[in-house]
Amino acid sequence: MRITVADQEHCKKELVVEFSSDEVKGETDRVAAQLARSVNVPGFRPGHVPVSVIKTRFKKDLSDEVTSNLLPRGFADAVQKNDLKVLGEPSVSDVRHGLDGSLGATINVEVAPEFELSSYKGLPLVRKVYKVTDRDVDAAIEDLQQRYAEMVPVEDRPSQAGDFISANLAGWFQNSEGDEQDAARKTADGETADGDTADKPADANETQAEEPRSDEAGDAIEGKADSDGTGGGEREPDIPEAPFNVQLGQKGLIADFNEAFLGVNVGDERDFIVNYPKDYHSERFAGKAVRYKGEVASINIKEPPDVPEMLKLISDEEKTVEEFRSELRSQLEVQAESKSKEQFNNALLDLLLDRNRFELPSGIVALETRSRMTSLIQQWSRGGVDFRKLNIKWDQFQEAQQKGVERDFKASFILDRIADLEGITVTDEEIDERIQAAAASTGEDPAVLRARLTKEKAVASMKAQVRNERALDLLIASADVRVEEVDGLNEAATKSGEGEQGA
């Protein structure tokens, strides 16, 4: 067997595998002898069919079997002899059967990137240690109070910042006839061209998948456009009347909406124009002007309970305010430790990535990016969210997912190289401990979990993950760490140079 390996771009290798006629004949004789003992051929006793008859009668099947046996064997030999770290599935092309009985094929594979690892011990890093303060506890209690607050109607004054407004609004696009005729085209299932339902407005506080916008009004009201497109109130609205709900003064609220509902009372009629910014997340509204008309239906304000009353809502267990504050502080201290660890590990990886720059195999990056996108969409669907109504800019969404994949892959390759150099290994006993812990957390039988992980080929991935974690622990132990104490979970560092990592 002869093997030739050639480098290709983006971590790809081209393997040319060739078997001599003698090698092919030897494998053919072996497979033919096996078939002779197992097939039934009229005129011959079972197990006594001559090999020559097998070669004639089953020529094509025999050739296919020989090819499917030799090529994987040749591929495995090429990988072993050239110490290739193959990623993903190989692609076989140009299978050649020579007139002399030889066999050849070209196999393309993606392999782990080759790069020169920079120094990785004694990395200069900053570890922020967050000290939970009374302000943090007070803020956490206020958040809980807001969560358990009741909506109370405002009846003795006009609306002001912080109030929750509900209005029934209809809208007309201004001077955008061509654009809105395109937007109004409906698909066969009754949706508009941009994926929003034609007769149901999106909620003012609907979360946008590409960027959280739970506090922004824009898709507050959507619908189909008619063919006029000139604006005004004489024709049918482009955006049918529907409920609009918003909190005045909230972060991200378009100023035109805020101004239109400040100082109003229930029953007031509103007629105003909203100018959407050009970079607005919904392409249908971006850069457009929309005239809205409608009536204020209600004005409410949140009325939070006092702390003792809130404690009764949270738990049946009786406890004093001081006991509750102490428990809350302990929970926040756990969060502070987790935040510190996450930031430190991310800073370490960022430094490693900056010091080690290399290309990634494009195929596995694309495959993992698609997998993550599919997983997110399935997660939304299980949560009852229709992703078609989220106004996702798919190119930006895919780009964001791809960046995350590239970062994770690069970090994994670097840590894997460090683990190789440091001789880090993971035993079966360590994997058993991980599986036992995972089974205990889910209530699953450990043997059943191991069988499932083995079937899904996830045990090897778990072993690689544990190995990389141990490599990360080694880097942390050897790092040149400067500690900065930070008063409060969201406060600035008490020392200068906060957030700077060594280069």
List residues bridging with 298 in a β-sheet: 166
Instruction: Tell me the two tokens of residue 386.
Output: 């229709």
Report how far residue 346's alpha carbon sits from residue 334's, in angstroms, rounded to the nearest whole number: 18
- In the 8-state DSSP scheme, what is residue 493? B
Q: What percent of the chain has pLDDT over 70?
A: 86
**121 HSE (CA, 13 A, CB side):** 7
The mean of the pLDDT values for the chain is 84
Cα torsion 386, 391, 397, 398 to 10°: value is 70
The Cα 344–Cα 336 span in angstroms is: 12
Q: Which CATH architecture has domain 150-303?
A: Roll (3.10)
pLDDT in tens, 75-113: 999 999 999 999 988 999 889 999 999 999 999 999 999
Q: Which one is predicted more confidently, 179 or 443?
A: 443
Outline where DSSP puts E strands in 33-182: 86-97, 103-111, 124-131, 150-153, 164-173
pLDDT at 474 > cutoff 60 = yes
Q: Where are the domains of the chain?
A: 2-111, 150-303, 321-487
Single-letter amino acid code for the residue at 46:
P
Write down the architecture of domain 321-487 according to CATH: Orthogonal Bundle (1.10)
Task: Name the residue with higher pLDDT: 35 or 423.
Answer: 423
pLDDT band for position 198 (cuts 50, 70, 90): very low
- What residue type is assigned to position 350 of the chain? D
Res 19: pLDDT? 95
Q: Is residue 274 predicted with pLDDT exceeding 80?
A: yes
CATH topology identical between 2-111 and 321-487? no
Residue 491 is predicted with a pLDDT of 64
Q: How far is CA 232 from CA 153, 181, 242, 270, 291, in A?
A: 32, 16, 17, 14, 7
For residue 373, give every residue at least 6 positions away whose Cβ sits within 8 Å of its Cβ, in sequence order, or none: 397, 398, 401
Provide the token pair at 191.
């949706």
Superfamily of domain 2-111: Trigger factor ribosome-binding domain (3.30.70.1050)
Structure tokens at 162: 């912080």
Burial 198-235 (b: 16+ CB within 10 A, else e): beebbbbebebbeeebeebbbbbbbbbbeebbebeeee
Q: pLDDT per residue over 320-338, tens digit each? A: 999 999 999 999 999 999 9
Mean pLDDT of 267-281: 91
Q: Is the pLDDT of residue 208 over 60?
A: no
The span from the CA of 126 to the CA of 346, in Å, is 11
In the block, tokens 């660890």 appear at 341
Please answer whether residues 132 and 336 qualify as being in contact, where contact means their C-beta atoms are separated by less than 8 angstroms: yes
